[in-house]
A and B are shown apart, each in its own frame.
Chain A
Amino acid sequence: MLPPQSPGPFERPEQLAEALREQGVAPEELANLVPAVHRLSEWQAPRPSSADTQRLLVQLATALPALSPVRQAIRAHRQRQGAGVRWLLATARIQVSLFGPAFWLVSALVTLLGAGVVLSKVLPDQGLLLRASGPFLAYLGTSIAFRGTTARALECELVCPPSPVQLALARLVVVLGYDVALGLALSLALWVGGTEQVAALMLSWFMPLLLVAGLALALSLRLSIQVAASLAYGGWLAALAMDANVNLPLLRLTPATDALLGGIGLALLAVALLRLPTDMPRLLPSP
């Protein structure tokens, strides 16, 4: 028996001429080319019967991902929520409950204090307090957001549907998002207060914050988050003290070095996130 035939997409010569025109064939060539191309429909491909398709389905069935109904439901739920950013923001919104009122209030107060000191011009080096207070927010945020081991919640985090990396990203979105919002409020306050070089001051506030956050998260792969955050912030305060007391041009903190420190902070954040899946289970208490 002859196999059934499949129809072509351009059954009429006019459709074919339109297709040729679309691909750039000159109008004077159309009359020549259309009949030749029309002849392509003479060679028909076989159409598979429904039995052929059934056979193929049976052959492929073994490769079909076998997921439990629970996993399927979780995936379906995620797809409904939409991929990427929307899902990350939804996870971040859930993670907000992790941060108690103390985090929000202390962060805002520290920022307010920084704004007040700069505006009152009490200190000769206006950037110094911002360089110390910005990273304090990172210390506070990371030590609260990533306290899974001490909160005895790490086991739950490791088995929950979002992966540890997704959780870490969502929490970073909360911490850094809030810090950015505070930074914007701070820069607005400084600008309204008539402070000069607001951009340079904001760099000296936000870039060390990124550095301390990145360093704390990277160190937390080997140490507890409290120790890691304390080491990162303590190290930064020590560097500030050196900067204030040792007059070495190479160690001077300028907007350019601030930007460099921010870049290093971002790189450390990326490394920590990449290493997280392999290093996190190691943090579980040994039986």
Chain B
Amino acid sequence: MQERSDELLIAAVLAGDQVAFATLVTRHHAPLLGYLYRLVGGDRPLAEDLVQETLLHVLRQRTYQADRPFKPWLYTIATNLARDYFKSAAVRQRGRSGEEEEEALLQMSDSAPGPEERALAAEQGGEVRAALAHLSEDYRVVVVLRFYQGFSLQEIAQTLQIPLGTVKSRLSVGVHRLHAVLAPAQEGVR
């Protein structure tokens, strides 16, 4: 049987269809959790909270327009919520220590996981995680959307509501910065 599209499902959800709601959540739970997990630097409880908050916004806002693709809209909400969180976290950090926002974010993402997760991260992709954490938020978002979520350039532009050219330039900067951090280790391996 052919699967119902996201757009049909969300229309049914907003009309109170519980089965459509379960289907939509099941379909997007894992990718959305993965996206937010990487965006917040590997803090799973925080990413789970943001996933829940994103889906609550979907249900409560009711701003969805039927002619708009659902996925970019969903990730717009998720990204905005993550940004709001970054801002509030950065404000708190700045209030305490007066450090730069990016440093606050790094501290936040580095300090959040427990010892077990930290040990795991050190073994698996710790370097990559640190490299992504070094990117400023604008670049990190496009890199994660592109290379982890598999979004097309057009979908990224729709999600972030920025021109296609800006998407390309941010990706270019992001990729080059990742290369600068990750390449030496890679060369060492060779």
Contact = CB atoms under 8 A, between A and B. Distances in A.
Interface string A20-49: 101111000000110111011011111110
Interface residues of A, number: 44
B146 to A, nearest CB: 7
A19 B12 CA distance: 35
B37 interface: yes
A64 B148 contact: no
A60 B59 contact: yes
Contacts of B143: 40
Contacts of A19: 146-147
A8 B55 contact: no
* Interface size range of chain B in the complex: 35 or more
B38 A43 contact: yes
B186 A35 contact: yes
B129 interface: yes
A67 B15 contact: yes
A45 B33 contact: yes
Interface of A: 2, 6, 8-10, 16, 19-20, 22-25, 32-33, 35-37, 39-40, 42-48, 52-53, 56-57, 59-61, 63-67, 71-72, 75-76, 79, 83
Interface of B: 11-18, 21-22, 25-26, 29-31, 33-34, 37-38, 42, 44, 48, 51-52, 55-56, 59-60, 66-67, 120, 124-129, 132, 143, 146-150, 153, 167-168, 171-172, 175-176, 178-179, 182-183, 186
23 contacts: A9-B148, A16-B147, A24-B172, A32-B183, A35-B183, A36-B175, A36-B179, A36-B182, A43-B42, A43-B126, A45-B38, A56-B52, A57-B25, A60-B52, A60-B55, A64-B13, A64-B16, A64-B18, A65-B14, A66-B16, A76-B12, A76-B15, A79-B66
